[in-house]
C-alpha cells in the first residue's frame, strides 16, 4: 500500500518520515477496517454523515466539519503539543525530566495500562453497533456516529503508542485489541462494563454520561504520566471526550424534559400514564441511572490497590488534576476507607494514601457525576414535579473492591441477601422495563422529525439548525 500519510492519516508525529511505524500501521490498518465493517456501526457505512475530523491539534484544525462516509473517516494520530522541560509531577521520581522512551523496568506495566485503555475504545463501538437502526432523530444518529469514529480514533491513539514504543509485543497487543470482543464468551473485553449490552438509546445516553466520564478521569490520570507520549496522547483525547459526555448529559436531560411535558399535558405524575403516552417515566430513568453509575464505579478498580500504589510511586499514573494537590509525594499520608464490618455494618480502616489512589479518582468522579444530576433536578423542580434523581451510594451493587457482592440498599445500608433480591426490581430495570424501553425504539430519519419519547435538542451541531439533514442516506 502506498499512501500520502498526511492526507490519509492526519498526524503530528511525522509519520511520513517514520518507516518502521508506517510498516506497522500498514499492516494493522486493513485489520482495523475489517473490524469496523464487521463490528462497527451496522448498515450505515454508505451514508454521508456530518462529522468533525481532527486534522491538526491547533484550535482550528482539531474540529473540521464536513460530510464523510464512515469507513473513509480519516483516523488521525495526534498528541498535544509538548511542554518544554516537562518534569515528573508525582511519586518517587518527582521533579526529574519526563521520559521520551519507555524505561525497561516499567515496560510491561505501561503496556498493560495502554492495552486496558485501548481495549475500551473498540469495545464501546461494538456495544453500540446496532443503535443506528433506532435513532430518535438524524441529529442523534449523527452524534452516535461521531462518538463511534472518535472512539475508533482513540483506539488508533493507543495502537500508535504500542507500535511506536513497544516493538513486537506492542504489535501483537494491537492485533489482540481487534480480537477481543464485547460480550464474547471466550474473548471478552477486559473491563466489566464494556461487556454489557447497549441495546437502547436510554442506555446509550447513560453510558456516554457515566462510562465516558470514567474515560475522562482515567485519561486525566494517564495525562499526568511520566511517559510523555502517553501523557500528550491522553491530553488530546480529552478534547474529544467532552463531546461524548455532552451527548449523554443532554440526551438524559431531553428524555426527562419529554417526560415532564407529558406529565404536564396529562396533568399527572403517574408513571404508568407517562408510559402509556409513549414517554419514559422518571422512576425508570432513575433505574437506568442506578445500573450504569454502579457499573461504571467498578471501572476505577479496587478501593485498596497495591497496583495503584505502584503506578503512583513509579510515576506511571497520577491523580486526576495532579497539580491541584499540594503533596505530590504522598509518602506517608493515610486515607480512611469505609469497609463492610462483616457483621452487617460498616467499619473504618486507615490505609496508605498511595494504595487509595483508585478511590481518590473515584471520589472525584462521583462529584463530577453529581453535577448533571443537579442540573436534571432543576428541570424537574421547575416543572413542579416532586421526583428527584439521585446517585445511589457507591456501595450499591458493586462487583469490584471491598463492597463487591455485599448487599446494600441504594443509600448504602447493608441489608440481607433476600431483602436485596426482593428489592432489586425497585432499583434496577426489570426485563419488563427493558421491553418497554425497547418498544419505544424506532428509527426516525425524516428531517425535522423526532421520536415521541425525547425532546429535541436546544441547539444543532456546529451552529447548524437542529433540523439539518445531518445524515444523508444513499
Ligand atoms: N472489570 O488493583 P486493582 C474509557 C482488574 S473508560 C474487570 O483493583 P487496578 C472509555 C485489574 O485489571 C477508561 N477487571 O485495580 C469510556 C486487576 O487485574 P490483575 C478506561 C477489573 O490494577 C467509554 C485486578 O482487577 N481506562 O476510556 O488499579 C467509551 C485488580 O485490580 C476491573 C482505564 O481503565 C473491572 N471493572 O486497575 C470508550 C485506564 N477493575 O492485575 C472509552 C487503564 C479492575 O489482577 N487502566 N480490574 O490481572 C487502569 O488504570 C487500571 O487498570 C484500572 C484499575 C483503572 C482498570
Start-end of H helices in 389-451: 417-427, 431-440
Q: Which three cell numbers stand for residue 165?
A: 514504543
Going residue by residue through the chain, which has 474 residues, state the pLDDT in tens, using 9 for 90 and above. 455 677 788 899 999 999 999 999 999 999 999 999 999 998 899 999 999 998 888 877 778 899 999 999 999 999 999 999 999 999 999 999 999 999 999 999 999 999 999 999 999 999 999 999 999 999 999 999 999 999 999 999 999 999 999 999 999 999 999 999 999 999 999 999 999 999 999 999 999 999 999 999 999 999 999 999 999 999 999 999 999 999 999 999 999 999 999 999 999 999 999 999 999 999 999 999 999 999 999 999 999 999 999 999 999 999 999 999 999 999 999 999 999 999 999 999 999 999 999 999 999 999 999 999 999 999 999 999 999 999 999 999 999 999 999 999 999 999 999 999 999 999 999 999 999 999 999 999 999 999 999 999 999 999 999 999 999 997
Question: Closest residue (by CA) to atom 6 of ligand 1?
Answer: 215
State the cell numbers at 268. 399527572
Q: Does residue 216 contact residue 296 with C-beta atoms inside 8 Å?
A: no
Instruction: Kindly state the cell numbers that stand for 357.
Output: 489512589
Evaluated on CA atoms 365, 368, 370, 373, the torsion sign reads: negative
Are the C-beta atoms of residues 62 and 80 closer than 8 Å to each other?
A: no
Q: Parallel, antiparallel, or unpaired for β 64-69 and 48-53? A: antiparallel
pTM of the model: 0.96
- Taking the CA of residue 192 as reference, the ligand 1 atom at the shortest distance is 1
Sorted by sequence, the CB contacts under 8 Å of residue 419 that are 6+ apart come out as 407
Helical H runs in 224-269? 228-266
Say what the pLDDT of residue 212 is: 98
Instruction: Find how far residue 43's CA is from the centre of its chain.
Output: 24
* H helix intervals, 298-416: 306-313, 357-382
Cβ–ligand 1 contact at 115 (below 6 Å): no
Q: Which atom of ligand 1 is nearest to the CA of 302?
A: 8
What are 52's strand-pairing partners? 65
Q: How many CB atoms lie within 10 A of CB 197?
A: 13
Per DSSP, the three-state class of 51 is strand
Q: Among 124, 150, 191, 320, which residue has the most ligand 1 atoms within 8 Å of its CB, making it the best to mutate?
A: 191
CB 211 near ligand 1, within 6 Å: yes
290 alpha carbon – ligand 1 mean position (Å): 20
Consecutive H or E run containing 66: strand 64-69
- Residue 187 to residue 178: CA distance in whole angstroms: 11
Beta-carbon-side half-sphere exposure of residue 100 (alpha carbons within 13 Å):
5
For residues 298 and 361, the answer to whether their CB atoms sit within 8 Å is: no
Matching residue, cell 509538548: 82
Nearest CA to 232 out of 75, 389, 99, 361 is that of 99
* Biggest distance spanned by C-alpha atoms of the chain: 68
Whether residue 212 has its Cβ less than 6 Å from ligand 1:
yes
DSSP secondary structure letter of residue 207: I
Amino acid at each position: 500500500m502506498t499512501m500520502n500519510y498526511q492526507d490519509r492519516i492526519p498526524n503530528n508525529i511525522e509519520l511520513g518520515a517514520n518507516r518502521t511505524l508506517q510498516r506497522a500501521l500498514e499492516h494493522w490498518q486493513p485489520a482495523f477496517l475489517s473490524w469496523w465493517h464487521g463490528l462497527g456501526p451496522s448498515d450505515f457505512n454508505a451514508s454521508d454523515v456530518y462529522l468533525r475530523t481532527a486534522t491538526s491539534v491547533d484550535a482550528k484544525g482539531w474540529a473540521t466539519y464536513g460530510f464523510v462516509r464512515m469507513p473513509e473517516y480519516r483516523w488521525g494520530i495526534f498528541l498535544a503539543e509538548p511542554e518544554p522541560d516537562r518534569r515528573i509531577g508525582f511519586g518517587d521520581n518527582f521533579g526529574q525530566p519526563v521520559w521520551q522512551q519507555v524505561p525497561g523496568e516499567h515496560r510491561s506495566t505501561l503496556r498493560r495500562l495502554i492495552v486496558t485503555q485501548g481495549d475500551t475504545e473498540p469495545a464501546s463501538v461494538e456495544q453500540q453497533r446496532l443503535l443506528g437502526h433506532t435513532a430518535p432523530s438524524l441529529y442523534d444518529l449523527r452524534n452516535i456516529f461521531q462518538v463511534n469514529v472518535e472512539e475508533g480514533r482513540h483506539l488508533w491513539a493507543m495502537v500508535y503508542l504500542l507500535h511506536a514504543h513497544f516493538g513486537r509485543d506492542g504489535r501483537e497487543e494491537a492485533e489482540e485489541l481487534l480480537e477481543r470482543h464485547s460480550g464474547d464468551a471466550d474473548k471478552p473485553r477486559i473491563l466489566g462494563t464494556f461487556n454489557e449490552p447497549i441495546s437502547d438509546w436510554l442506555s446509550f445516553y447513560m453510558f456516554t454520561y457515566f462510562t465516558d466520564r470514567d474515560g475522562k478521569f482515567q485519561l486525566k490520570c494517564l495525562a499526568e504520566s511520566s511517559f510523555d507520549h502517553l501523557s500528550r496522547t491522553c491530553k488530546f483525547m480529552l478534547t474529544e471526550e467532552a463531546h461524548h459526555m455532552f451527548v449523554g448529559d443532554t440526551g438524559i436531560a431531553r428524555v426527562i424534559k419529554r417526560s415532564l411535558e407529558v406529565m404536564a399535558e396529562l396533568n399527572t405524575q403517574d408513571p404508568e400514564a407517562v408510559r402509556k403516552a409513549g414517554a419514559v417515566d422518571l422512576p425508570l430513568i432513575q433505574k437506568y441511572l442506578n445500573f450504569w453509575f454502579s457499573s461504571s464505579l467498578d471501572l476505577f478498580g479496587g478501593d485498596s490497590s497495591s497496583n495503584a500504589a505502584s503506578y503512583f510511586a513509579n510515576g506511571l499514573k497520577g491523580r486526576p488534576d495532579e497539580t491541584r494537590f499540594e503533596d505530590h509525594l504522598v509518602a506517608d499520608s493515610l486515607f480512611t476507607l469505609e469497609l463492610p464490618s462483616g457483621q452487617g455494618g460498616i467499619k473504618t480502616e486507615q490505609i496508605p494514601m498511595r494504595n487509595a489512589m483508585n478511590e481518590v479518582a473515584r471520589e472525584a468522579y462521583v462529584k463530577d457525576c453529581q453535577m448533571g444530576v443537579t442540573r436534571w433536578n432543576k428541570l424537574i423542580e421547575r416543572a413542579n414535579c416532586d421526583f428527584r434523581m439521585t446517585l445511589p451510594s457507591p456501595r450499591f451493587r458493586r462487583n469490584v473492591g471491598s463492597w463487591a457482592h455485599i448487599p446494600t440498599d441504594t443509600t448504602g445500608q447493608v441489608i440481607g441477601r433476600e431483602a436485596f433480591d426482593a428489592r432489586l426490581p425497585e432499583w434496577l430495570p426489570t426485563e419488563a422495563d427493558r421491553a418497554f424501553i425497547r418498544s419505544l425504539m424506532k428509527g426516525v430519519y425524516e428531517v425535522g422529525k423526532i421520536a415521541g419519547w425525547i425532546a429535541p435538542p436546544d441547539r444543532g451541531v456546529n451552529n447548524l439548525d437542529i433540523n439539518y439533514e445531518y445524515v444523508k442516506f444513499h
